[in-house]
Amino acid sequence: MCRLFGFQAQIQGPPRYLTASDQAFVQLSQTHADGWGLAAYQAGEVKLKHGLLPALHDPEFKRFSESLHTQILIAHLRLATVGENKLDNNHPFVYQNWVFAHNGNIKNFSHYRELILSQICSHFRAEIQGDTDSELIFYFILSELERWGLVSRQYPYSIKDLGRSIQWALENLQTLIGAFSKQQGPPTETYISFLMSNGEVLFAHQGGQPLYYRFFSEHLQAEKAQLIFCSEPLDDARDWLAMPTGALFAVDSGLKILSLREAAKEICA
């Protein structure tokens, strides 16, 4: 499986734990070596970079990551299960201000590919460049958001509105492909763990592959607090917390975590 990294901060700054230590995220590319991707929001734009080499051995990963000052960043180390090793298949995927990276797999994807495509809005289908299940999942979710005007921001919305639409998209996806695996197992099973953002909110979904999170505060200054999501703890600190299986979290600019799985169910009731 791949490895995910998400960073959210109250003020712009360099993202922690990407390259700076022997336990940095980049070290995981020794085994997750099929390319990498970084997407960060800077000056109102998405800055995106992909590479095909293992991140640890690619100077561009270090150069690009250390150039960033951002409040939200999503990074991905690929261990390919579906799709060849080429840039079009590297996460994160980006559409306008939306960024998405996935750790997982759709079991028997070739059987379900056309069915999933049929549920994706035509203008999103035209954006698909690679041949991964992950890119289709991204545009499948965006299609649900678009039905409510939440991609192009046609109407005012809340975090709960976004969470409800993402949750509905995941429920609809399960209707098509079957239930997501609830615990780690063979890489051929279905796992839909991901990080996603629109530049204002960072979403994290634990869809069978682990996600952990941890808060940091620089010199006890609350205004410099940071939150990191990662597929595995990056050090031995005891304050890494595991997301429950099936959980959907949203983190706002104040680093408040809203558990949207429960919120979505409440709205649907």
pLDDT value for 262: 53
| Superfamily covering domain 3-268 | Aminohydrolase, N-terminal nucleophile (Ntn) domain (3.60.20.10)
pLDDT value for 20: 76
What residue spans define the domains of the chain? 3-268
Lowest-pLDDT range, 108-112, 164-168, 195-199, 260-264?
Answer: 260-264
Cis peptide before 14 (omega within 30 of 0): no
3 state SS for 172-195: HHHHHHCCCCCCCCCCCCCEEEEE
Distant-in-sequence, close-in-space partners of 199: CB < 8 Å, separation ≥ 6: 41, 44, 46, 72, 97, 99
Q: How many CB atoms neighbour CB 212 within 10 A?
A: 17
Instruction: Give just the sign of the alpha carbon dihedral 84, 58, 99, 206.
Output: positive
Question: In the block, which residue shows the tokens 């080499």?
Answer: 53
Summarize the confidence of residues 218-229 as an average pLDDT: 72
Give the single-character DSSP code of 208. Answer: S
Q: How confident is the model at residue 269 (pLDDT cuts 50, 70, 90)?
A: very low
CA atoms of 93 and 88, how far apart (whole Å): 9
pLDDT, tens digit, 9 for 90 and up, residues 22-46: 778 989 988 887 899 999 999 889 9
pLDDT value for 267: 31
pLDDT at 204 over 70: yes
